[in-house]
Amino acid sequence: MKSQSLLLAGVILVTSVSAECSRSFVVGATTQYIAAQTEGNPAKLTAITADNLKYTESDKTIDITTGVLAQAMKIDHNRSIYDTTLCATFTELIVSDAAKPYVIGTRMVFTDDKVSLIETIATKPGDWAFNATGYLHWNSLETWDPIPASDRDSREVIQAAGDAYFNRLNNVNISVPFVTPCARLEGGAYTDPRASGNDTCALGLPSTIKVTNRRYVVDEEMGAVAIYVGFPGLDRSVAEKPMPDSHFFRVEAGEIRYIHTVTTCEHAGCGMNGTGIPPPA
């Protein structure tokens, strides 16, 4: 009887956890987040935020009412993925308004049906390769449809592809599963602007960079993983300091098809005086 009771308790626990992290729940919460950002009204999230909510922008903890979430925006594009195992979401937003453009990546983590952590990387002019119009254009040419159920990779395979990419940045002997074609979008600069059909994701990769503090959102249905890291070497004025960075990978049949990055810098132009990655032609 005791073993049966323990088994029943385990079933109840698993069911409870699954219900707390159902896809419908995190999709609904993400919809509320996008609405809050559109209106510039953090209060629209009050009903789903934990009392001890931690809100960060560029890895700095701030009051949610003083950050970018309090700015109304006309959002030209949004794409989200949902991790029902880690109870987390990632949302990519593009605002091409010439007066105040943004490319934003936001990771939300849930505990007991409440948002306990919001990590936002809000890039703007002066950040790494920033060009919101370019980001929107190249994004619109890509296909990020849901993966048919019979063709989906496991979360382990999807995450491993993203990890291999970051591991390669510090070890040229590591093989990264890039598919052909493959394209990387950094701030607005695209590695394959002429649709060459080649693997261009490997272009310009460093070999001595060790990223730090990886945090994940994995979505098997979308074949995608967003990985938040600290990325040193991007802001040349503080080259050894890891910059807040998000890499968003599309993985198909275990291979990387697209990579989207957003990275903030401490100094406008990332300390390169205009010598960095040029905007798309």
Domains 23-124 and 155-263 share a fold: yes
- Note the pLDDT tens digit of each residue in 64-108: 999 999 999 999 999 999 999 999 999 999 999 999 999 999 999
DSSP track, 35-58: HHHHHT-GGGGGGGEEEEEEEEET
Determine the CATH number of domain 23-124.
Answer: 3.10.450.50
**Of the segments 9-13, 166-170, 235-239, 273-277, which one has the largest average pLDDT value?**
166-170
Express each pLDDT in 249-258 by its tens digit.
999 999 999 9
pLDDT at 193: 94
What does the pLDDT look like over 148-183, one tens digit per residue?
999 999 999 999 999 999 999 999 999 999 999 999
**Distance between CA atoms of residues 95 and 75, nearest Å:** 5
214-216-220-222 Cα dihedral, nearest 10 degrees: -100
Domain 155-263, CATH: 3.10.450.50
Question: What confidence tens digit (pLDDT) does each residue in 211-250 have?
Answer: 999 999 999 999 999 999 999 988 888 888 999 999 999 9
Domain limits of the chain?
Answer: 23-124, 155-263
- pLDDT for 279: 41
